[in-house]
Chain A
Amino acid sequence: MLKRRRLLFSLLAILPVIAIFAFVRVYPISEILRLSLHKWDILSKKKPFIGLRNFQELLGDRLFHEALFNTSIIAFGVLLITIPLSLVIAALIFHRTRSRFAAFYETAVFIPHVVSLVPAAMAWKWIFDARLGPLNAFLSIFGVKPMSWLFDPVLSIICVIVLCSWQALGFAVLIYLVGFKSLPVSVYEAAKLDGASGRQSFWHLSVPMLKPITLYVSVVTLVSAFNVYAQVYVLASDAQGAPGRQVRVLVLDMLENSFRNYRVGYAASEAVVLLAIVLLLTFVQFSLLRDKRAPR
């Protein structure tokens, strides 16, 4: 009887959280799924069910393919830069914990994450400027010809990757630092007694023991990079005669289809594809990085 009452109490206690979660997460996702199966024009009174026709159209939509390709390149580019770099930076900061500059190092790395995105992106836009930007000025010292960073189809994507990585790095370093601080000191001491160098300890102890942290950071980084929009909007925005090549990404394409072309159903089908990709990649990351020996 007591057990049943405790179970009931637990269910009641968790109910508000479940209700909120269902309202802010499950309901919107189910609505997106529903919209994706309709010709849901925001201005039209008729919104007929059309089955998978939106998804069929996506298969032949060149702009969607371009957006998907660009977004994937940006997301994996950010992941490949952020994870190893943040791990190394966190290790360096952790091993300087006793330094009086430790707080400065942490703050300096974390600042890009808290700086408002728009002014930060504006600053990067200036850095990448083909005519007046300091990047080209710096490269010219080594005889490198000025490059059109924001106009070249490849370079403009690299610019977005650099900006997103710069922003993501601070958060990743912070999480890794927390991970480093929770590692058992005794293991390192034992390794040191066995003659392991600092580099060996890093590779053979820190990296494997930080796998759960790496999993978390990589999932967060990848999901957030797949949702890239504002960085692209500022670097190569939609303004008239804007000084930049528009890098088409998925969120931008969805916004255009929703509010400029009024095709909310079609945009919803893009969102479903994005959701499926992110879920699949998260599953793959879990499979690859989860510590299989850890107790369930």
Chain B
Amino acid sequence: MMKLLSRPQLSAFSISGRQLLLVSAAGLGLAATAVSAQEIRVWSGYPELAPFYQHVAEGMAAEYPDLKVTVEAIALREHEKRVALGVTSGEAAEVIELATTIAARYLEGGLLNTPPADVTAFVKDPANFGEFFVNSASYDGTVYGMPLFRGQSALYYNTDMFAAAGLTEPPKTMADFDAYAEKLTQRDASGAPTVTGWSMRLSGGGSGIAEKFAINMWQHGGELIAPAGEGLWKSNFASEAGTATMKQYLHNLFDTKTVTVESPADADAFERGQTAMFIRESWVIGDIATKAPDLKYATATLPRGSIVSPGQLYVKAGADKEAAAWAFVLATQKPENLLWLLDNVGWLPNRSGLDFSAILAAKPGFEAYVNYPASYEFFTVPAIGPIDEIQTRAAAFLVEAFAKPELATDDTALKAFLENADKEINAILDREGLLGQ
């Protein structure tokens, strides 16, 4: 469990803004002298972030007229593959966006540049970033990346559908989620859901299924990969929270049938009115504004707290382009750029001291992401090398479970299934010397 920003820090955004602007301007000034007639590339794993990076580049044009920035933003999984190939072959872009969990492997191998002193000082300044984000951008006590944005979850719900079902407020407990899902599900003559009550991540493949499961498991009081000693971890599927979470999925799938594996899911389904509620990151707000501007919806915090998946910018450049790359990285931190990011793309900036009030007034959906209760608890996926392999393995188990109706009624079979999942995931941790007791 961790704290992102304390309440006083949130309210102090506007006070420290001028100071921060000066710091970033000083940093940019230092770098400006070294940059001329350069071309740098930026690799991102989120296509929706391309306009943000373009916006940052355009903002640098006056100060760096000879700097050309090429943004190459592709789907996350493909991005991760190209980074693996690009970094090891020396063909990577100069600026690379990576999640903490993925960056860990590259930092272990010393494959990314260490920032210059001014960038390190900027990141370490408590006025700029909370401790959690400094740690997320660091490895072994050394800062390597620039904290940029974070994935944080909240509930999206269709207010028209809630009103039609006689529901006046969002669910407050996980038991509420089940009851709400039943009330909100719309069915055809055969009883099959035409609009799902609660869209859960049930299909696809890859680590996303496991991550969404972990978010729900957190609400039940547990972590999928739990700490088990100093730098050690263990799989927690068969725990009380893991069992309760799995039972909730199976209950909705096979007992109340509020959702099916075939049902349209995720943001697309929500925007098309095919599901009444689902849990997702803040980028959905920007997505809805573009694709379904007339949709009546609201957001709400989750019963216990949220996952936080921080994303950083790293540099992998030779001496000739390093200064230009870090200048770009610093430019992303200009408050006006970060506010543009939230307003136009929807990802939450990690930097402290930003005044979101104008954006919140226009887009109240962001409230659930920035104005959460004092007791709200956060967790993050462990930044260990094999985390993606572990999540992919966990996802394979989950998909298998979602095709087994017998698990919904047979507690013994469910226990054996979850223990088997733990055994396989623990074997991966053991192989990497990361398994705790």
Contact = CB atoms under 8 A, between A and B. Distances in A.
A256 interface: yes
Nearest to B268: A241
Interface residues of A, number: 34
A260 B403 contact: no
Interface string B72-114: 0001010011001101100000000000000001101111000
Contacts of A241: 201, 203-204, 208, 265-266, 268-269
A248 interface: yes
B388 A148 contact: no
B264 interface: yes
B127 interface: no
B165 to A, nearest CB: 23
Interface string B184-206: 00000000000000000101111
Interface in B151-171: none
A130 B84 contact: no
A156 to B, nearest CB: 10
B204 A240 contact: yes
Contacts of B269: 241
A236 interface: yes
Given A242-B204, A244-B203, A262 B84 contact: yes
Contacts of B108: 43-44
B80 A259 contact: yes
A75 B92 CA distance: 37
Interface stretch (B53-61, B222-230, B332-340, B389-397): B389-397
A239 B266 CA distance: 11
A148 B402 CA distance: 14
A294 B424 CA distance: 53
A153 B84 contact: no
Grouping DSSP codes into helix (H, G, I), strand (E, B) and loop, the A interface class, with mixed when no group exceeds half, is loop
A210 B351 CA distance: 72
A245 B261 contact: yes
Contacts of A262: 84, 105, 385
B193 to A, nearest CB: 11
B320 interface: no
A42 B88 contact: yes
B23 to A, nearest CB: 33
B140 interface: no
Q: Which of B87, B201, B208, B262 has the most CB of A within 10 A?
A: B262
B399 interface: yes
Grouping DSSP codes into helix (H, G, I), strand (E, B) and loop, the B interface class, with mixed when no group exceeds half, is helix
Contact of A260 (B77, B111, B208, B266): B77
A39 to B, nearest CB: 10
Contacts of B203: 151, 241-246
Contact of A259 (B84, B106, B392): B84
Interface string A60-71: 101100100000
A237 B427 CA distance: 27
A97 interface: no
B106 A63 contact: no
A261 to B, nearest CB: 4
Contacts of A25: none
Given A241-B201, A246-B205, A261 B389 contact: yes
A63 B266 contact: no
B261 A151 contact: yes
A45 B105 CA distance: 11
A148 B108 CA distance: 44
Contacts of A189: none
B426 to A, nearest CB: 13
Contact of B204 (A153, A238, A259): A238
B98 to A, nearest CB: 12
20 contacts: A45-B109, A63-B396, A151-B262, A151-B403, A236-B205, A237-B204, A238-B205, A238-B206, A240-B206, A241-B203, A241-B208, A242-B203, A242-B204, A244-B203, A244-B204, A245-B203, A260-B80, A261-B386, A261-B389, A261-B392
Interface of A: 42-45, 60, 62-63, 66, 130-131, 148, 151-153, 236-246, 248, 255-256, 258-263
Given A241-B269, A260-B392, 20 more contacts: A43-B109, A45-B109, A63-B393, A130-B262, A152-B403, A153-B403, A238-B206, A239-B204, A241-B204, A242-B203, A242-B204, A244-B203, A245-B203, A246-B204, A246-B399, A259-B81, A260-B81, A261-B388, A261-B389, A262-B84
